[in-house]
A and B are shown apart, each in its own frame.
Chain A
């Protein structure tokens, strides 16, 4: 599936297009099909997101997992500072990235 990601303009936080807005959680991402360019143009013009782009990901029962390691690190946070990641209480969270 193709999903949209970018960074929040004000905070720089990694965000994912959830169909109506931007979520911090990759599992909220939705497939955008042919609408990607229009969504990017509209959202950037509205100054809600910065540098939005399309990536490939796989959906499974466990959730959505971006294909490339760089996007998985963006989705979680630095693997060397899991305390600052989106799953600070899960010491095994880094395994999802690798």
Chain B
């Protein structure tokens, strides 16, 4: 894991004291809300429906157990005993008092964390593959590149007032677990014909009101030009992005309106210019970072066999663990989606339990996933049963990862001032409808995502089944879409037709899964069947008139 050097620590410590002074001046009236608002937002502090909300950055989703424990302690000390893990691999606290915010930032800084650039029109937290450094299917660990981006983008004076917010994801495997092509910049670490590592750049993706899949604009950028090329992409956007209309200000609109070829031409022109300025950090810095992401001290010669006589444990192993690059180890996903629970929420005590489990079983490391779960990346298979028992005791052993109960849901109208409809109750009802493990297992992989407004924080465009809550004359209404995917087979969902009320959309989801099960061939996933048979059969079933009795 990356460890702060003196410069990193000095930056966050200085920011804490700066914000402490700004908060003091707001409370004594020296600063108006108009002047204070952009300052608090630069420190991740929003004003939401019920209170201030603090969004804490978790760079590329990676945490130590010490950091995770602090997140649990903050939940208990300053909030109402829980936190909400987000689709940006961050954590949010919903009940923060303004006067406590500087102390929270100080507590975070004491464990090398902060809330800088988790809001505002700047480069946000860079996300990555939650299986990074553990999965056998990656070329290399993508996190050193994400860390390099973090260092380059933190307080970058040119990019603190972009036309709109800017999100970057970095992956290094063919299996995209980070929705890479739905980012402003998606970076995929690749290897060229000479066997050298470099970066493919996908630019102009995103969700929100105008969803776009990022086109490839450069298939190989040498690693000693990685930051320079990133800077060129940002510079062209910063120069020509639409500042006149916030709904057209994201880079996806610029790339779309210019066309990928013209945007690329401008980036290449800027890139050639930037190369003459020699702005690239020395490769030695990347090497310094890489050392900190070295493998932990894995044991050799471990057995891959696991005793699976306990059926509940066996089911959990089958669903919530993934292959590891080292024999005898597994990647464990801890689902934060208990049936009837709130997706992504964990109590302070549960957060501390996960921290302890990371310390005891996973080389002290955790990951937050964009699907609002937690990953222990390196667990000995011999320890899985003991780990599972402790997860059961903490109500953290839901076996549903990538199944229909593993729902992404934004906070929605229950918490968010931008939302038009509630997301969480819909997620809870769907999870309850499909709570029978046999039913869920029969359906298999099905990624269901719910957003409470068009901003799409719940990634509904990328759901195999997506649900968008809208305000229809003061009443909550839900649009259903099918066929989205955030993976390497990235696609955007298509709306089925007229929307539904809350109960109606639950029924519609069940009808869609019934169509899938009736038409499934072989090992097809829901998404595969949808792509093969098209919208027609689904639409027909979803909107079929109910027979009238008598």
Residues on A close to B: CB < 8 A?
Answer: 7, 9-14, 44, 47, 50-51, 67-70, 73-74, 77-81, 84
Q: List 7 A-B contacts (CB under 8 A).
A: A14-B49, A47-B29, A69-B476, A73-B49, A74-B50, A79-B422, A80-B428
The 8 A CB mask of B399-434 against A (1 = contact, 0 = none) is 000000000000001110001001011001000000
B33 A50 Cβ-Cβ under 8 A: yes
A70 B98 Cβ-Cβ under 8 A: no
**B495 beta carbon closer than 8 Å to chain A:** no
A78 B47 Cβ-Cβ under 8 A: no
In the bound complex, residues from chain B placing their C-beta under 8 Å from that of A80 are: 342, 414, 422, 424-425, 428
In the bound complex, residues from chain A placing their C-beta under 8 Å from that of B27 are: 9-10, 47
B413 A73 Cβ-Cβ under 8 A: yes
Of the candidates B48, B50, B419, B428, the one whose C-beta lies within 8 Å of that of A77 is B50
In the bound complex, residues from chain B placing their C-beta under 8 Å from that of A84 are: 80, 95
Alpha-carbon distance between A46 and B268 when the two chains are bound, in angstroms: 54
Known contacts A7-B47, A47-B29, A50-B33; is A12 also within 8 Å of B96 by CB?
yes
A-B contact count (CB 8 A): 66
Question: Chain B: interface residue count, which band?
Answer: 20 to 34
**B97 beta carbon closer than 8 Å to chain A:** yes
Q: Give the 5 A-B residue pairs with the shortest CB-CB distance, closest first.
A: A12-B51, A78-B414, A12-B52, A80-B424, A11-B97
Q: B43 to nearest A CB, angstroms? A: 15
Q: B123 to nearest A CB, angstroms? A: 27
Alpha-carbon distance between A69 and B421 when the two chains are bound, in angstroms: 9
Of the candidates A12, A51, A69, the one whose C-beta lies within 8 Å of that of B50 is A12
Of the candidates B33, B95, B96, B413, the one whose C-beta lies within 8 Å of that of A51 is B33
Q: Which residue of A lies closest to B98 (CB)?
A: A10
Q: Which residue of B lies closest to A46 (CB)?
A: B29
**B99 beta carbon closer than 8 Å to chain A:** yes
A44 B33 Cβ-Cβ under 8 A: yes
Alpha-carbon distance between A39 and B112 when the two chains are bound, in angstroms: 44
Task: Determine chain A's interface SS by DSSP, over half rule.
Answer: loop
Known contacts A78-B414, A80-B342; is A50 also within 8 Å of B49 by CB?
no
**B157 beta carbon closer than 8 Å to chain A:** no
In the bound complex, residues from chain A placing their C-beta under 8 Å from that of B428 are: 80
In the bound complex, residues from chain A placing their C-beta under 8 Å from that of B413 are: 69-70, 73
Q: B476 to nearest A CB, angstroms? A: 7
Known pairs A10-B27, A79-B425. 19 more at Cβ < 8 A? A10-B98, A11-B97, A11-B99, A12-B47, A13-B50, A13-B51, A47-B29, A50-B47, A67-B474, A68-B474, A69-B413, A73-B422, A74-B49, A74-B50, A78-B414, A78-B415, A80-B422, A80-B425, A84-B80
Q: A18 to nearest B CB, angstroms? A: 19
Q: Which residue of A lies closest to B419 (CB)?
A: A70
B97 A14 Cβ-Cβ under 8 A: no
Q: A44 to nearest B CB, angstroms? A: 7
Alpha-carbon distance between A57 and B216 when the two chains are bound, in angstroms: 52
Q: B28 to nearest A CB, angstroms? A: 8
Q: Which residue of B lies closest to A6 (CB)?
A: B47
In the bound complex, residues from chain B placing their C-beta under 8 Å from that of A51 are: 33, 47
Alpha-carbon distance between A28 and B172 when the two chains are bound, in angstroms: 57
CB-CB contacts below 8 Å: B10-56 with A: 26-27, 29, 33, 47-52
Alpha-carbon distance between A30 and B189 when the two chains are bound, in angstroms: 61
Q: Which residue of A lies closest to B416 (CB)?
A: A70
Candidate in A12, A73, A78 with the most chain B CB atoms within 10 angstroms: A12
Q: A51 to nearest B CB, angstroms? A: 7
Alpha-carbon distance between A47 and B26 when the two chains are bound, in angstroms: 9
Alpha-carbon distance between A96 and B548 when the two chains are bound, in angstroms: 32
B96 A79 Cβ-Cβ under 8 A: no
Candidate in B27, B49, B425, B428 with the most chain A CB atoms within 10 angstroms: B49
Q: Which residue of A lies closest to B80 (CB)?
A: A84
A79 B49 Cβ-Cβ under 8 A: no
Q: Which residue of A lies closest to B52 (CB)?
A: A12
Alpha-carbon distance between A16 and B422 when the two chains are bound, in angstroms: 23
A9 B50 Cβ-Cβ under 8 A: no
In the bound complex, residues from chain B placing their C-beta under 8 Å from that of A67 are: 474
B98 A9 Cβ-Cβ under 8 A: yes
Candidate in B27, B98, B342, B428 with the most chain A CB atoms within 10 angstroms: B98
In the bound complex, residues from chain A placing their C-beta under 8 Å from that of B425 are: 79-80
Q: A77 to nearest B CB, angstroms? A: 6
Alpha-carbon distance between A67 and B342 when the two chains are bound, in angstroms: 27
Of the candidates A10, A69, A79, the one whose C-beta lies within 8 Å of that of B97 is A10
Alpha-carbon distance between A11 and B99 when the two chains are bound, in angstroms: 7
Alpha-carbon distance between A27 and B422 when the two chains are bound, in angstroms: 24
In the bound complex, residues from chain A placing their C-beta under 8 Å from that of B50 are: 12-14, 74, 77-78
Alpha-carbon distance between A84 and B82 when the two chains are bound, in angstroms: 11
Known contacts A80-B342, A80-B414, A80-B428; is A70 also within 8 Å of B49 by CB?
yes
Of the candidates A9, A12, A50, A69, the one whose C-beta lies within 8 Å of that of B474 is A69
In the bound complex, residues from chain A placing their C-beta under 8 Å from that of B52 are: 12
Alpha-carbon distance between A9 and B28 when the two chains are bound, in angstroms: 11
In the bound complex, residues from chain A placing their C-beta under 8 Å from that of B33 are: 44, 50-51
Q: B13 to nearest A CB, angstroms? A: 25
Q: Which residue of B lies closest to A71 (CB)?
A: B49
Alpha-carbon distance between A67 and B52 when the two chains are bound, in angstroms: 24
A10 B99 Cβ-Cβ under 8 A: yes
Alpha-carbon distance between A67 and B51 when the two chains are bound, in angstroms: 21
